[in-house]
């Protein structure tokens, strides 16, 4: 395995921060491996979007290094052509689905990115159809995007990225504006892209249940990395999560509460299925 995204001692301040004490990001060093599924978790204002914009080169850091797909994007000799190449390898899905759709027909929207790659007509067609099939939206190819649900719109936005054949997709709170069904649609799309297509996923979220899908969770607070570990490791440190205003998943919180009340339940993070087993055992033993 090799590192697909790597940052070293990354720091960034917004110019118009006025009398703010802390920079938006400070000394952030993380790595995401090829094909890894990582969640970045943190409450509002913790620097998550700033981090995403640095990775996508919408912003450039005050100090520190960013490497993507083996290229140092912060190097002085990094050109605009290089940027074009890197952007093709790292797609981004943002919060508001309406801001990401550019065309009046779904398939034209999906074709928008890859059209700029100068592909032959046939390959473009194949890529668009494949991407729409992957997100389960092929039957909407001729529809008008603005008439779709939020979850469907996000899946169209994702299809537009898949059609570029990236190695990594960054989702910045991509489910925050969706209803529960839309959230589930987008989450299972992320899971599928990672599991079946080996696309690295960086899911920036404030939802615990979403973060639990990842191989690894990086918790950020006040622009710094606060924890970095598996869901099991991170969610077991419940007091430290509470200290920065976050909560563990509901079942972990419940088990923690019941344990403090004297119930013999397993400590730390337990996946949903195992939670049910533990509760059944507890009930049978009572």
What is the binding site for ligand ADP (CB under 6 A)?
Answer: 14, 16-17, 24, 42, 44-50
Write the DSSP string, 166-200: -SEEEEESTTTTS-HHHHHHHHHHHHHHHHHH--E
Residue 171 or 255 having the CB closest to Mg ion: 171
Q: Which residue is nearest to Mg ion (CB)?
A: 49
**CB 211 to Mg ion: min, Å:** 15
Residue 193 or 220 having the CB closest to Mg ion: 220
Q: 250-260 vs 272-285: helix axis angle to the nearest 10?
A: 30
Cα(33)–Cα(3) distance, rounded to whole angstroms?
A: 4
Write the Ramachandran bin of 144: left for phi over 0, alpha for psi from -120 to 50, otherwise beta: beta
Residue 23 or 145 having the CB closest to Mg ion: 23
**CB 208 to ligand ADP: min, Å:** 15
Q: Which does 23 bind (CB under 5 to 8 A by kind): ligand ADP, Mg ion, none?
A: none
Residue 17 or 98 having the CB closest to ligand ADP: 17
Cα(175)–Cα(178) distance, rounded to whole angstroms?
A: 5
Element (H, E) at 41: strand 37-41
**CB 46 to ligand ADP: min, Å:** 4
Q: Which does 257 bind (CB under 5 to 8 A by kind): Mg ion, ligand ADP, none?
A: none
Q: Which does 47 bind (CB under 5 to 8 A by kind): ligand ADP, Mg ion, none?
A: ligand ADP
Q: Which does 183 bind (CB under 5 to 8 A by kind): Mg ion, ligand ADP, none?
A: none
């Amino acid at each position: 395995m090799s590192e697909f995204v790597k940052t070293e001692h990354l720091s960034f301040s917004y110019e118009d921060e006025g009398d703010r004490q802390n920079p938006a990001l400070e000394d952030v060093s993380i790595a995401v491996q090829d094909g890894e599924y990582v969640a970045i978790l943190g409450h509002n204002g913790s620097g998550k979007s700033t981090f995403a914009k640095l990775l996508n080169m919408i912003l450039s850091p005050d100090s520190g290094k960013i490497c993507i797909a083996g290229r140092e994007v912060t190097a002085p000799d990094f050109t605009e052509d290089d940027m074009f190449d890197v952007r093709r390898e790292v797609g981004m899905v943002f919060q508001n689905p309406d801001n990401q759709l550019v065309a009046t027909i779904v398939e034209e929207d999906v074709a928008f990115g890859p059209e700029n790659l100068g592909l032959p007509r046939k390959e473009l067609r194949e890529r668009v159809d494949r991407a729409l099939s992957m997100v389960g939206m092929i039957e909407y190819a001729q529809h008008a995007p603005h008439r779709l649900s939020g979850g469907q719109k996000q899946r169209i936005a994702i299809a537009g990225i898949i059609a570029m054949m990236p190695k990594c997709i960054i989702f910045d709170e991509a489910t925050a504006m969706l209803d529960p069904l839309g959230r589930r649609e987008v989450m299972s799309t992320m899971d599928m892209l990672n599991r079946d297509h080996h696309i690295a996923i960086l899911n920036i979220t404030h939802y615990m249940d979403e973060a639990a899908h990842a191989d690894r969770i990086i918790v950020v607070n006040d622009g710094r990395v606060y924890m970095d570990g598996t869901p099991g490791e991170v969610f077991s440190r419940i007091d430290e999560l509470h200290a920065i205003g976050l909560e563990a998943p509901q079942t972990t919180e419940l088990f923690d509460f019941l344990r403090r009340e004297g119930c013999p339940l397993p400590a730390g993070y337990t996946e949903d299925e195992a939670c049910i087993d533990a509760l059944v055992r507890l009930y049978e033993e009572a």
